């Protein structure tokens, strides 16, 4: 069983480190999350051996309190999606969005949202992204932002820029970081496109969002936007 293989690699010392890193204390964003202490490459290696698991079995993993179980389920979903036909991709996409309660930490979002939500919506109307961006669930809003990574990689920036505008006043630091990161990714491909957005909104942006967005700019330009 996949859970047995994951348990066999448990590292209590690493688990404590991860619990602190992913903010599992009372009132923190990862409150209640439980770690075994596994490395992502090890989880990924194990997950590749279980791509035949059904969506029902993956739903049980996603509902488990152990972080690595949920991450393994998502990595399996990503692999299944890559190999699936269009009908099965739709099922996986819909399953993913129905189980966002289990996608409740930033690494879980960041390793899966663009691979499933982004890839599925790339040739479709992106309205679902805007619904997610308006969600009261912070992780669903982060899914909306990270899903656009696939669009950005295909030199499509409008979807991300619309979501970035929607989230300018978001209260969560993890959303600020995600939006700034994706703006930076746009800038790597088309700095003019990023700067057109920045010139209009940089004075309104949270400082963390702005710092992430301009991280790759030269010193003079960073100073201009931060002043």
Tokens (6 digits) for 56: 């029902």
Cβ distance 188 to 216 under 8 Å?
yes
Q: pLDDT-derived band of residue 82, with 50, 70 and 90 as boundaries? A: very high
Cβ distance 140 to 100 under 8 Å?
yes
Residue of 188, 89, 214 lying closest to 225 (CA atoms): 214
Q: pLDDT-derived band of residue 59, with 50, 70 and 90 as boundaries? A: very high
Q: Give the Cα separation of 33 and 222 in Å (integer).
A: 37
Instruction: Give the pLDDT of residue 113.
Output: 98
Span 147-174, average pLDDT: 98
Spell out the domains of the chain, with CATH numbers in brackets. 1-88 (1.25.10.90), 112-227 (1.25.10.90)
pTM here is 0.96
Instruction: Give the pLDDT of residue 156.
Output: 97
Q: Give the Cα separation of 60 and 70 in Å (integer).
A: 9
Q: What is the mean pLDDT of the chain?
A: 97
Instruction: Give the pLDDT of residue 100.
Output: 98
């Amino acid at each position: 069983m996949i859970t047995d293989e994951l348990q066999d690699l448990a590292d209590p010392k690493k688990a404590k480190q991860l619990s602190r890193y992913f903010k599992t204390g009372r009132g923190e964003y990862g409150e209640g999350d439980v770690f075994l202490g596994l490395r992502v490459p090890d989880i990924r290696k194990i997950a590749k051996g279980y791509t035949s698991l059904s969506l029902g079995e993956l739903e049980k993993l996603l509902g488990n309190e152990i972080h690595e179980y949920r991450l393994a389920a998502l990595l399996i979903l990503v692999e299944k999606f890559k190999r699936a036909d269009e009908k099965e991709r739709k099922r996986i996409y819909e399953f993913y969005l129905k189980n966002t309660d289990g996608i409740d930490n930033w690494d879980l979002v960041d390793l899966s949202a663009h691979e499933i939500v982004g890839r599925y919506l790339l040739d479709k109307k992106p309205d679902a992204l805007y619904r997610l961006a308006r969600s009261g669930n912070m992780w669903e809003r982060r899914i909306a932002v990270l899903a656009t990574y696939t669009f950005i990689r295909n030199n499509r920036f409008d979807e991300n820029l619309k979501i970035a505008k929607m989230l300018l006043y978001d209260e969560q630091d993890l959303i600020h970081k995600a939006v700034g990161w994706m703006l930076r990714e746009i800038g790597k491909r088309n700095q003019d496109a990023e700067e057109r957005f920045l010139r209009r909104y940089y004075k309104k942006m949270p400082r963390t969002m702005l710092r992430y967005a301009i991280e790759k700019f030269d010193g003079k330009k960073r100073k201009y936007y931060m002043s």
